[in-house]
Structure 1
């Protein structure tokens, strides 16, 4: 019975805050407004937790008052005590055995079950959602590990700050107010002592806490750099080992660790001085308050019980203000880390949907580049003045030397960047005026650098169409020549076949296996536009020949754009364009371009024996 009631209480408390509700609008760039944005939707529950915490703190003062009353009552003699003060025994029992445990239990539940899990999830989900909305350039310019660390750090620190504020600061504040009332009830002339002491205490906090916040922010930034450096090294561990650069990576990590240690020492220095001053200040209150009470004595109407109560209050206040100060130290440390995370994660999105963006509708699949120019903000690189129409159902091949602008053209089609001049349309719709999700949902893509999640083979293949059936999954894998090797897979936990995990970035697969899973993923998505960026570059000739027929079937009825360095893979395309320094240099079928004897013919000649002929000559 009791167990069921307790479980219901915990279940009710755990669901008080809807921890995955989205935030309204972008995150503000000022600290307190940012905190309000993170916590929006949780404020009523936080107010309730604050109310409970305050009552819990007030119950502490009630116990001190009961102690003073008990001392005075005991001085009357035991017979008189039981006759006149039986109510004191009952009140003490109710307070210590019922009210105080209930308040402390409720406060603990709100801290451990309501605030801690829910506020963390609420904050992290909002930060993560906003981070995912950044353009690709945002991720290109930072460490993946550092960004992940910033999300976790900001969410954890804000949660700790909220918990400490509700369950320590407000608890202590209620105790302090109750103590002032108790001291004033004993003798109003004792209240100035407490007021002056609190003024000195407030001044002490005002001097130290801003310094603690600044140093905490610097320490958080240094810690994130250590994480970013370490994750970057581990992510590329094979390259580190193949190039024998472990010592270099060690030096780079040690440099960041040394900076973190330096910032930690700076934080520790001010923290230690803060604690020293605080302990000294705390010791003055019991001496001043009890000493003044003894000096006043009976002439001031101060009884032994009053002195006992004030002594308890003074010692408790000294302890509590120390506890509050250490808590404030932690809170300001956490606020510094929240502020650091805010500056890193919340810049405005640079690539956003238009306010009136509509869903892309692809009826034919015609793609038009209308005088498109994009140079990554530089004078060289990218593409310039591209005028290109890909007809519905046409198979277009794109070739060119490295840096000619091939990948840039695809990135503009996928709207990973916006053109600096011109526009891109699909079936007459400007892609900057449609939602990014609908645009990318209409395009299937296989890249040279195949992206794999450390999830099951099944999850990786159906990523573009999660609702796909088991038959569709297996059919796509078979067409991509991936079904057989998937069935033979087994991960380190004994999971087999389509349930086996592929490792981070598909590290447990060969390059050819990764590319075949990526092909299966594109096939099962079955989008009206198909983009192939060196889609068979990691396959050996035998496997490439085996899936070429399946790839041709996958291209049926679709508009296809294919980039290839291996020209034999695109020689049968309807049309081929040659990019050179960001411009279209040549255009035509394979036979037409060979007959023209230009750039394409030179590339073809080199790949079909030209090098051997030059050597012989």
Structure 2
């Protein structure tokens, strides 16, 4: 049964057609829409459970009156069937209703809501541009995705599981007292008024304190991720482990936590006082009615039971309300970041890129990252299909910007880029990048197996093809020797965060193996062999030349000897193309390229 309940909803439904709302309630409504049938069933079970609970308190009073008016000898004969039916209700129906409600909320709803929300947020964040990720810490983004999911699911669960039941219970209790004697509704009504007055006072304060705590918690998480990811720099810093910035972040979080706890203590003390008022008022008023003969003794017993039960329910309700506003505060903190509209989107009429040769053309392309300088400035470049070009220029000349624009990691601020006469803004991003293999200088890997990093996460690729790609990248020598912390070896060994368990040269060779395996018609090499020693580079150069033979190639290199043999060298300076020709032609002209060639030291560009 539990397995079927878990399968009542599919958390991996297609993504909504629009960006997630940045306001809390529309966001919750969108996320909960696939679970509406589960929510409806849960509310029905809550209503039935609350009705049974209230009726049982009502029957407690009746039972006291029955026992007072009936002798033991006549009890079973006159009320036996009634007692059996109530016992059956208590032993069978009540547990079934509670089990059904708990199962719907905790098995059918909560896991599916959490997984579905987290999956859709993850998919949305993955759709953001590379530039979007560079504006924030990766760890903080990940933390906000998980915390936003937890907050959204917690808010929905609180409303569904707690507020619905408690609300129905209090309404039923009010009706029960009114039905017995309208005057008994007076103390309950006064208590309800005081209760909501307390809520009106403490809930806004709790919401602000919770939002502040969430903000400092997020900032602290970002600091910790940044610190641990750059532990070498921290170890070598002047402050070492006694970092003033870390201390400030911890202190801010400590202060915010104290404020939150002060509000919680105020809430708990207020609830204790209100509970006392309710018990004294309701029971005392019932006794007064009994003394005058206006109420039976059973009503006093029912009032006592009800006041004690409502006390517990009220504390539960206020805890739920404060938890709800805590969740809403967390959502308000994280939604503006995570639910931002995608910066780069596929056009509504976008089609898949069709490669007929791999010709690339940039026409009057400018991109300055929203600034006045830097990037590219009115670049025109035509790369015929199958041509291999080298990009050269000092740091900041615009080489990486050009590659990023072709990959559509950013959208050019002006100008057009086409591949085989197809504007890259008119094709889907996935199809565009599917036809381009990229090997960069910073060959970061995913914390997955070596095989998964070579295949790019694609399943069902024959292991023979993987090992052949590794051989071409001169990676087949070290891969069999790998062993991770859990004992996995070779191609099954996991490489750690960003491939930290491997050397820079090993990471780059695995990245090269991935490019060899994909066989994309366009190949981009961004310092693709910079981390290799001379022996390893020599081992793969022949294979690299074979792979490049039938592809359009853009190669960025500071070691000019690695690109001198290419068909063409393009020199960038301050975002513009200043030289364009073969290696020999550029040496003859005596321009920037010739000057860089002369000033090489060990095959690298000088810093001047």
TM-score range, shorter chain: over 0.9
- Which residue matches 2:120? 126
* Partner residue, 2:432: 439
Q: 1:22 aligns with which of 1, 14, 23?
A: 14
TM-score (norm 2): 0.96
Q: What are structure 1's unaligned runs of at least 5 residues?
A: 1-8, 612-617
2:49 is matched with which residue: 46, 56, 61? 56
Aligned partners of 1:464 and 1:522 also within 8 Å = no
Work out which of the residue numbers 447, 456, 462 in structure 2 matches 1:463.
456
* Counterpart-to-counterpart distance in 2, 1:268 and 1:164: 20
Identify the match of residue 220 of structure 2 among 211, 218, 226.
226
Q: Give 1:37 shift.
A: 1.4
More divergent stretch after superposition (238-247 vs 288-297): 238-247
How far residue 36 of structure 1 moved from its aligned partner, in angstroms, is 0.7
The answer for the alignment partner of 2:5 in structure 1 is 13
**1:217 and 2:207 correspond:** no
1:243, distance to aligned residue in structure 2 (A): 4.8
User: Match of 1:543, SS?
Assistant: helix
1:140 is aligned to 2:139: no
Does structure 1 residue 407 correspond to structure 2 residue 413?
no
Tell whether the 8 Å contact from 2:143 to 2:218 is kept in structure 1 after alignment: yes
Deviates more, 1:200-209 or 1:319-328: 200-209
Count residues in correspondence. 603
Match of 1:550 in 2: 543
Q: Hey, what's the Cα distance between the residues in 2 that align with 1:243 and 1:564? A: 32
Structure 2 counterpart SS, 1:483 = coil
The equivalent residue for 1:109 is: 103
For 1:185 and 1:346, locate their aligned partners in 2 and report how far apart those are by CA, in whole Å: 50
Q: Deviations over 1:256-288 (max 9, x none)?
A: 111111111222222221222222122111211
Contact 1:464–1:525 (CA under 8 A) maintained in structure 2: no
Give the drift of 1:303. Answer: 0.8
CA distance in 2, matches of 1:253, 1:495: 37
Match of residue 333 from structure 1: 326
Structure 1 position 356, deviation (Å):
1.1
- Note the 1:182-221 alignment, pairs <5 A: 182-221=176-215
Q: CA RMSD in A?
A: 1.8
Is residue 165 of structure 1 aligned with residue 159 of structure 2?
Answer: yes
1:482-541: CA deviations, max 9, x gaps?
012101111121111101111111111111111110000001010000000000100111
TM-score in terms of structure 1 length = 0.95
* Aligned positions of 1:597-616 closer than 5 A: 597-607=590-600
Tell me the CA shift for residue 593 of structure 1: 0.8
**Secondary structure of 2:371's match?**
coil
Q: Please state if 1:508 is matched with 2:508.
A: no
Deviation at 1:240, TM superposition (A): 2.7
The answer for the alignment partner of 1:316 in structure 2 is 309
Deviation readout 1:126-160 (Å, 9 max, x if unpaired):
11111111111221011111111111111112222
- On the 8 A contact 2:469/2:516 being kept in 1, the answer is yes
Q: Distance in 2 between matches of 1:63 and 1:421?
A: 73
Q: Distance in 2 between matches of 1:379 and 1:464?
A: 39
- Name the CA distance, whole Å, in 1 between partners of 2:202 and 2:237: 49
**1:67-114 CA distances to partner (integer Å, 9 max, x unpaired)?**
112111111221232222223311331122111111121222223212
* 1:4 corresponding residue in structure 2: none
For 1:47 and 1:255, locate their aligned partners in 2 and report how far apart those are by CA, in whole Å. 47
2:350 is the counterpart of 1:357: yes
Question: What's the secondary structure of 1:557's corresponding residue?
Answer: coil
Per the alignment, in what secondary structure is the counterpart of residue 600 of structure 2? helix
